């Protein structure tokens, strides 16, 4: 059986991204490589990691720039207090994409983009209807 181990976001500035996620979402840095080109956040069973675009180009990859208006994926952070978490994210530089909304499947959602343009969902657990 396989398990999802980590997601890596390609960014221009790894340390700046880590700082943003610590402040905006209350996460903690688990590891920052001495080169500054790779870092991981402590996010539970699945790691959220960051790699510099420069390193990816050295490895023969050409990552595209993220665009929250045309996302190809999203990261979701679950919380019991969507309103408080959304405000913390915005107060620390996240850009509002969708305000808080109660969804018909029993979940409260909101969306922001991070300083790199990645789409981030801030949501509650799904509650039985």
Q: Which helix (H) or strand (E) holds 95?
A: strand 95-102
Fold of 6-58: 2,3-Dihydroxybiphenyl 1,2-Dioxygenase; domain 1 (3.10.180)
Q: Does the pLDDT of residue 110 top 90, yes or no? A: yes
Model confidence pLDDT, tens digit, residues 23-56: 999 999 999 999 999 999 999 889 999 999 999 9
In sequence order, what are the residues at sequence separation of 6 or more whose Cβ sits closer than 8 angstroms to the Cβ of residue 100?
Answer: 82, 83, 86, 108, 109, 110
So what's the architecture of 75-123 in CATH?
Answer: 2-Layer Sandwich (3.30)
pTM for the model stands at 0.91
**Domain residue limits, the chain:** 6-58, 75-123
Average pLDDT, the chain: 95
């Amino acid at each position: 059986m396989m398990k999802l181990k980590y997601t890596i976001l390609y960014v221009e500035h790894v340390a700046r991204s880590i700082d943003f996620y610590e402040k905006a979402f209350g996460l903690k840095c688990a590891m920052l490589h001495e080169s500054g080109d790779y870092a991981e956040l402590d996010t539970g069973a699945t790691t959220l990691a960051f790699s510099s675009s420069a390193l990816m180009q050295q490895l023969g990859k050409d990552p595209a720039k993220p665009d929250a208006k045309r996302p190809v994926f999203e990261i979701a952070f679950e919380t019991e207090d969507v309103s408080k978490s959304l405000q913390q994210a915005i107060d620390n530089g996240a850009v509002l994409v969708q305000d808080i909304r109660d969804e018909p499947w029993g979940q409260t959602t909101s969306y922001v983009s991070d300083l790199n343009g990645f789409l981030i969902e801030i949501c509650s657990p799904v509650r039985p209807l």
